Structure 1
Amino acid sequence: MSTNVERDPFLKIVTPDTTPEEVAAIVAVLSSLGSDEPPAPRRTPEWNRPGRLTRVTHRHGAGAWRASGLPR
């Protein structure tokens, strides 16, 4: 459902000699401030995962040296 509601402008330039570049800079700064939404949770990359710092126990027995180089 779309309604056409008249609103006051969010940004009003009152100086008559403002250049388009200055208006663009103001709009860029205001848009970079963000919104009221919390930021999305950051996912820890696999290479930076703390679990990678722990040592793993390698298999024992015949072929263990070969299995130590394989991913689990």
Structure 2
Amino acid sequence: MSGEEPLLRIVRGVPTAEELAALVGAIVARPRPAAGPAPAPTSAWARSGRPNNAQHRPGPGAWRAAGLPR
């Protein structure tokens, strides 16, 4: 590892050990992008069989509206 470039380099200021630890912790804890190819988009035919939850909202009269045609 002696010939490799460092993964992290401080270019300005003199951080304390606690500040460096906080920075490294924040970098390590961040979510990583998912590996692999993106899932294929769902076809319109497949989507048509799924319930549309945007049409069904809780509230007064919701039980009645759920059974009525739109």
TM-score, structure 2 length as denominator?
A: 0.38
What TM-score, normalized by structure 1, do the two folds share?
0.37
